[in-house]
Structure 1
Amino acid sequence: MTTEHGITRSMSRVDKCIDNAPMESFWSHYKDEAYYGQYFKTYQDLTSSVDWYIHFYNHQRYQTKLNSLTPVEYRHQAA
């Protein structure tokens, strides 16, 4: 399915499971905060929810580990 959309799946190296940690964490937060308890009538509804959450996660969701900033604010602070 990914190749149909021009996406190439890849992983860095064998036995480097730590590479997966950021994505596992993101999906865990998404499921807890935006997925569980929801009913999506269409695939489009689900993808819209994921798109909304990605924006929310990066622009509105304050994170303690980032000095109570959003990821975008934290990145701009370094610039």
Structure 2
Amino acid sequence: MIEQIKERHLIRFQEPNFYAKLISRNCYSGKIVDQEVVTRNLPEGKATIEVLAIYEIENEKISKVWFLMGEPKF
């Protein structure tokens, strides 16, 4: 799983204008919940997307991750 996450992020960070702004971070029972606004270049054009990222932590490492994404705003 770690390699899949790493590969996806390496590709994503090569996008021009890619930017993620952390809005808030909260911790709940071994999970970290980040609210972000992400700017990306999609095939339809430049957009912002609200993202909720949930990271499950075990032994001080990410063991699982979920991304809940809103609709792109162009």
Same fold (TM over 0.5): no
The TM-score with structure 1 as length reference comes to 0.28
Higher strand share: 2
Larger RCO (alpha carbons 8 Å, 6+ apart)? 2
Higher alpha-carbon Rg: 1
Q: So what's the TM-score if we normalise by structure 2?
A: 0.29
